[in-house]
Amino acid sequence: MSDILKGKPVADAISAQIREKVEKLKQDKITPTLAILRVGEREDDLSYERGTMKRCENTGVAVKNIILPEDIDEKSFFETLENLNSDNQIHGILMFRPLPKHLDGERARCMLNPQKDVDGCTDGSLAGVFTNSKSGFAPCTAEAAMEILKFYGIDPAGKRAVVIGRSLVIGRPVAMLLMHANATVTICHTKTQNMAEIVREADIVICASGQMESIGKEFLAPGQTVIDVGIGWNEQKQKLCGDVIFEEADEVAAITPVPGGVGAVTTSILVRHVVEAAKK
């Protein structure tokens, strides 16, 4: 029977730290403020927006919602973004991506003020993750995975970590964060051969391929800590599932549940970034 690494206590601990910092900032007449920029009404975006707003409310961080119609013209969109960039009352910007196809998403990403890039998507933030310069912000999900390890006392130093997936939102940045924490990191991806064998050698496994229930018992070994970043609706089982077949992970030392694992921590990291941006 594995330990279940729930996200909620981690998120609660981070929220408590945030509240303290927000109190101090308010004494200096600063209210940390997040702008949420959403185009259209995608269900994923709406769900993440609700979670973020709840977390902000809960910690004293203000939110400014900017909701633009799906068919907004390019000029108006970029004017809106530019205004948020230059507005001194806005400390962080969460811009939902991908944008609708008629808007240039790459241009928007590059235009975003790196100091307000609390979601860690600009080149400045990604360079900071790569160089370990602490400038910019790491992508929230990658940092959430690291916070869970830290909260539960699992030090990556000297351990073998395998990251499954090489995306820029989670796989690559979490690999760098683990390496900065002195783990020996291997990155697996769609072109990896004998993946099960490689994953079995790991002490820490980060599952971030986005392939639901693709990691079964042949990938896992006793003693491992498994962080499951995936989340999706399993039509057959009629429930949310991660990248791991949870029932087959009963011999690992510890595993994050889905839902209620990494996802529960991500918004608290985002809000922490807003407060850090406001402090700067």
51 is in an annotated binding site: no
Residue from 188, 206, 262, 264 that binds a copy of itself (CB under 8 A)? 188
Q: 97 with 121: CB under 8 angstroms?
A: yes
Is residue 193 close enough to count as binding a copy of itself by CB under 8 A? yes
The first and second tokens of residue 64, run together, are: 């400014």
Within 66-125, the residues that bind a copy of itself by CB under 8 A are 123-124
Distance in angstroms (rounded) separating the CA atoms of residues 85 and 39: 17
Rounded to a whole number of angstroms, the minimum distance from the CB of residue 214 to a copy of itself is 16
Decide whether 19 or 166 has the Cβ nearer to a copy of itself: 166
The first and second tokens of residue 211, run together, are: 């392939």
Within 132-151, the residues that bind a copy of itself by CB under 8 A are 133
Distance in angstroms (rounded) separating the CA atoms of residues 115 and 128: 12
Distance in angstroms (rounded) separating the CA atoms of residues 85 and 107: 14
Rounded to a whole number of angstroms, the minimum distance from the CB of residue 268 to a copy of itself is 25
166 is in an annotated binding site: yes
* Residue range at the interface with a copy of itself (CB under 8 A); choices 24-32, 128-136, 227-235, 271-279: 128-136
Q: 245 with 216: CB under 8 angstroms?
A: yes
Residue where the block lists tokens 């896992």: 220
231 is in an annotated binding site: yes
Is residue 129 close enough to count as binding a copy of itself by CB under 8 A? yes
Within 160-179, the residues that bind a copy of itself by CB under 8 A are 160, 166, 168, 172, 176, 179
| Closest to 269 measured CA to CA, from 151, 144, 124 | 144
Cα torsion at 143, 144, 146, 152 (round to 10°)?
Answer: 160
Going by the annotation, the residues of the binding site for NADP(+) are 165-167, 231
Note the residues at the interface with a copy of itself (CB under 8 A): 123-124, 126-131, 133, 157-160, 166, 168, 172, 176, 179, 182, 184-189, 191-193, 198
